[in-house]
Amino acid sequence: MNNETKLKCLSLLERTEYFDDEGELRIAGSDCLIIGGASIRAWAKVTEQVLGLGARVIMIEAGKKAGEQFADSLLKQGLKPEEMGDALELFLTRGGWGKIRAKIDIKKQTAIFRIWNSVTSRQTNAQKPTCHFISGYLAGMLTAIFGKNVECFETKCAAKKDEFCEFQTNSIPCSQIDSTSTEASLSQLKQ
């Protein structure tokens, strides 16, 4: 991680603002909420039980709005698009979403993410990927960074016993992602 970017992000985290009169806290100018991981998992599970396949769309779309809004806040705070991969790693990891590693190619407008112990896969067993909100959140952040609509797909999920959750953009087919450099780059980032 770039040291200057890390310091900028840590400074933003340390400057978390508390507005007791309004009952709000803001990180990087964005209003945030401290909520238990179990709440997010329950929301995902119940939504899926009640709505079936439609739940995925709701969670992805809600995640996209949230991710786009947070990335916009970071950009407004002066972070550059090329710093957003590092920023995303730091804020999401410190935010308890799981240990995240990101590889964002601004020029090609592609990205791949891996999350170990993601909040929506931990303590969860499933046949299919379960991290729809995170998938949407990452897509939303990329939408803000690239300035165009981006979708992300979860290609591996720890809830179905993969080693980690993995998300890729649809800008190019997964099979065409430069697997040698991507794997080499991500393998250096393992826990």
Residues that bind Zn ion (CB under 5 A): 121, 131, 157, 165
What's the closest the beta carbon of residue 73 comes to Zn ion, in angstroms? 25
DSSP tally for the chain: helices H, then strands E: 6, 7
Cβ contact 76:51 at 8 Å: no
Instruction: Name the minimum Å distance from CB 66 to Zn ion.
Output: 17
- Taking the complex as a whole, the smallest distance from the CB of residue 131 to Zn ion amounts, in Å, to 3
Least distance between Zn ion and beta carbon 121 (Å): 4
Q: Are 26 and 17 in contact (CB under 8 A)?
A: yes
Report CA-CA distances (Å) from 8 to 29, 51, 93, 97, 101. 14, 41, 16, 20, 18
* Residue (102 or 157) nearer to Zn ion, CB: 157
Alpha helices in the chain (DSSP H): 3-14, 37-51, 54-76, 84-94, 132-146, 179-187
What is the total residue count of the chain?
Answer: 191
Nearer to Zn ion, 8 or 114 (CB): 114
Give 47 or 121: the residue with its C-beta nearer to Zn ion: 121
Enter the tokens of residue 183. Answer: 């794997």
Smallest gap from residue 25 Cβ to Zn ion (A):
27
